[in-house]
Structure 1
Amino acid sequence: MIRVSAFALMCVLAGCATTPPTPEEAAQKCEERAQAAQAPTGGVTVGVNSRTGVSTGIQIGVSADLIRGRDPLEVYQSCVMDMTGEPPIRPARLRAL
């Protein structure tokens, strides 16, 4: 049986001329997605300049996987499988919470 990854199928349907990601590239992208499933992401910025004075910003991100309560390791494994059609080449490196 031949397993076709979702990425490859989308490329065929869309006429992509790009090559699929390497297993390591897929692992890195999928780790980011799995980390976003662990907890909200975000940041705070503060800046000062002579024209506008003090500026501040807050950014908060919540992934759909986090809202659904999906297990980050399952998110990682299914993401790699979808991108490459193969199981992950290494375990996910996730943040300790």
Structure 2
Amino acid sequence: MRLGPAYGLMAAGFGLAACGPIPVEQAERQCYAQYAPKAPITGTAGMGITNEGFHSKMELDFNLGVTVQGDPSEAYNACVYRKSGRMPTRPLYSY
């Protein structure tokens, strides 16, 4: 019996099924993680010498923003549509 071609067709079918659309809720979660606003990087430092000698203080606050050019909401919508084949049920900034 020659089952090699049958197994090959079955494997190809499973491979194509994995490329199909995913549920819109799952796509929204994946795309939100990718395009959500990122928290700024912050920090504080200090130095000092007693008896009113040398004092120093430094504060650091970086807001690197998102890694997408243009409107993050549009990129989120396109991502959800690309993954699920449907438009998102919730906008990016409603989470």
What TM-score, normalized to structure 2?
0.46
Greater Cα radius of gyration, structure 1 or 2: 2
Using CA pairs under 8 Å that are at least 6 residues apart, name the structure with larger relative contact order, 1 or 2. 1
